[in-house]
Amino acid sequence: MSPRKRITMHDHAAEASLFKRRALFTFVCVILMVSILLGNLYHLQVTSFNDYTTRSDDNRIRVLPLPPSRGLIYDRHGVLLAENQPFYSLELVPESVKDIPGTIDGLAAIIDISEDEKEDFTKSLKHHRRFKPLTLKARLTEEEVAIFSVNQHKFPGVEVEAGLKRYYPYGSTLTHALGYVGRINSRDRESLERSGDWSDYAGTKFIGKQGIEKFYEPVLHGKPGHLEEEVNNRGRTIRTLKVSEPEPGQDIYLTIDLKLQQKAQELLDGRRGSIVAIDPRDGGILALASSPSYDPNQFVHGISAKAYSALLNNRSRPLINRATQGQYAPASTVKPIMALLGLEEGTVTEKTRIWDPGFWQIPGVDHKYRDWKRWGHGWVDVYHSIIDSCDTYFYDMAYKLGINKISEFMTQFGFGQPTNVDIYEEASGIMPSRDWKRARYNQPWWIGDTISVGIGQGYWTTTPLQLAAATAIVANKGRRFSPHLMKAVTQNDGTLKTPVDEMPPVVLKDPRNWDIINDAMQQTAHKSRFTDAKYTAAMKTGTAQVFSVAQDAKYDAENIDERLKDNALIVAYAPYETPRIVLAVVLENAGWGGANAGPVARAMLDEYILRDTKEPTKE
């Protein structure tokens, strides 16, 4: 008997329902996925159209910054002092070079690359962003450029960059006035970013570091432009789409008289010292010489570590601007202003005379303050106190006046405070007072301190520029102008002169006292260095001690160290009737002021007053 077959019953209604649910789920999934796809397409094509178009253009369009050409600098007569010259530099992009030491050795085989340049490059590489080009050799000759061009295919990641570099045709003559430009470093960048000016330096590698170049950086730099290029997928240029020209920096004219500046450097002849000349009619600086100096051109593309170390460790400190940063005891050059104070306060009159036996003593004290003339000057009035530079007269005057009156009066002439000249490298000097000594040394002020200040010694220090500015006030009989180097700046609508900054005058109780002091200075000049001059002049010399001599000791210039010898100083102006130039000369460790600084002042005034027609010479 055969087994029975099993009969399966199908529930067609249930199966149909299951199929419908699965079909519906699948349909919903398909609809959802299509919606997501359409949503993404909408986002790409509509919502983010501008964004992706820009990204696409960024891959297709390259924007290159165009640095502006730096403004030129001229002297007061239009002689070019700072210009721009074309240059070529060898640049290396670290991330594009597989074997940097090998590449450098290969380049050195065809181009002269010094060991210092290799060493500087290696040091800079440690702190440099690898995707940015780094200079290996700053100055290439045209021959070296040609040699590299032939061999460039051997050195991927290395290329020659062309540009304009700053050049100073008169070398060390104007270094401390002009300053120099140098490569932008991290400190410069941080400063520009803080001020919000970093975007203005796109494509720019150089910035003012010292002097006029730094002070007027915003004027000289200009505004960058840009170049838009279409490139292919290999980065090669297909065509230029747009050029936005950079705005060049403005040219500026200085008050400097180049011929007078050259004369000052010639007279200093490498000796340590400074010469400052000012036009008292407006405060324009005619000469600002500091010696020894250095060639600023070596800083433009980066001075080598060895050369910079030599300048930095030089005992004569050529990097210091002695005209504005050198601080010296003014010595007898301030005696005319001291005498002016004595007349103003009634401490002395035009006819007051004192007896000078060669020394002066504080009443009741045995210590003797010696006059430079050991046997004394005899009877001395205010005129002869200046003409003969009688120390005893001013010891007595300082004792009677007191430090408070001296300090207050001298501050009006700019001592102890910056002149606010338009360069950043300036010292304030010291105009001592009771409060100053207490704050500086936590010590009381002694009467002996006042006696030393009375002859421009002791704690009192000044810069040559301050000394010239103070003398200009005397020559102007109270009118004051802020010393400045800027004369004019070129703009789109022509050349704009810088306004003269006249400050509140020094007002005397009796204006005739100006005449007394100026007359004494004129007699001083007539009796010494300007006896045979073709013009009238006024002057006062000074001899400043660098170290103190014991009470009974004698200053022996022949047997002391050269750097302990006295500083020689002189202030002068001419013509006496209508002053056009005021001078301050400081020669370090030169000895007697009249014998050493005097001839320098005479030569400077002759150069300016008795102008010749010789053209300035380039170094």
Phi, psi of 204 (to 5 degrees): -95, 135
What is the average per-residue pLDDT within 419-441? 96
To the question of whether residue 377 is assigned a binding role by annotation, the answer is: yes
Positions annotated as catalytic residues are 332
* 131 found inside a domain: yes
Residue-wise pLDDT for 222-251, tens only, equals: 998 887 777 666 556 677 777 888 899 999
Confidence band of 548 (pLDDT split at 50, 70, 90): low
* 98 found inside a domain: yes
The whole-number pLDDT of residue 243 equals 80
Residue-wise pLDDT for 175-206, tens only, equals: 999 999 998 888 888 888 888 888 888 888 88
Q: Taking a C-beta distance cutoff of 8 angstroms, is the pair 73, 81 a contact? A: yes
270 vs 18, residue with greater confidence: 270
**Most confident listed range (38-52, 401-415, 561-575):** 401-415
Confidence band of 119 (pLDDT split at 50, 70, 90): confident
- Domains identified in the chain, total number: 1
What's the pTM?
0.83
* 448 found inside a domain: no
* 322 found inside a domain: no
Residue-wise pLDDT for 574-604, tens only, equals: 999 999 999 999 999 988 888 899 999 999 9
Confidence band of 613 (pLDDT split at 50, 70, 90): very low
Secondary structure of residue 253 in the 3-state scheme = strand
To the question of whether residue 356 is assigned a binding role by annotation, the answer is: yes
The whole-number pLDDT of residue 342 equals 97
Spatial distance between the Cα atoms of 46 and 319, rounded to a whole number of angstroms: 63
Range of 117's domain? 94-151
Number of H-type helices and E-type strands within the chain: 22, 23
Query: Rounded to an integer, what is the distance from CA 315 to the centroid of its chain?
Result: 21
Q: Taking a C-beta distance cutoff of 8 angstroms, is the pair 65, 226 a contact? A: yes
* 574 found inside a domain: no
What is the average per-residue pLDDT within 427-440? 96
Least confident segment among 377-381, 493-497, 520-524: 493-497
Query: How much of the chain, in percent, has pLDDT values that exceed 70?
Result: 90
Please report how the helices 335-345 and 391-401 are oriented relative to each other, as an axis angle in degrees rounded to 10.
Answer: 50
* 215 found inside a domain: no
* 140 found inside a domain: yes
Residue-wise pLDDT for 465-492, tens only, equals: 999 999 999 999 999 999 999 999 987 7
Residue 178: Cβ within 10 Å count: 26
* 160 found inside a domain: no
The whole-number pLDDT of residue 242 equals 79
340 vs 138, residue with greater confidence: 340
Cα distances (angstroms) measured from residue 286 to each of 75, 485, 510: 9, 8, 32
Tokens of 498: 């810088």
The whole-number pLDDT of residue 576 equals 95
Q: Taking a C-beta distance cutoff of 8 angstroms, is the pair 224, 244 a contact? A: no
The whole-number pLDDT of residue 205 equals 84
Spatial distance between the Cα atoms of 609 and 458, rounded to a whole number of angstroms: 36
Spatial distance between the Cα atoms of 381 and 517, rounded to a whole number of angstroms: 12
The whole-number pLDDT of residue 550 equals 47
Cα distances (angstroms) measured from residue 338 to each of 346, 397, 408, 413, 481: 12, 8, 12, 11, 21
Going by C-alpha positions, the residue among 360, 552, 332 that lies closest to residue 457 is 332
Q: Encode 279-333 in three state secondary structure.
A: CCCCCEEEEEEEECCCCCHHHHCCCCHHHHHHHHCCCCCCCCCHHHHCCECCHHH
The whole-number pLDDT of residue 3 equals 58
Q: What is the mean pLDDT of the chain?
A: 88
To the question of whether residue 12 is assigned a binding role by annotation, the answer is: no
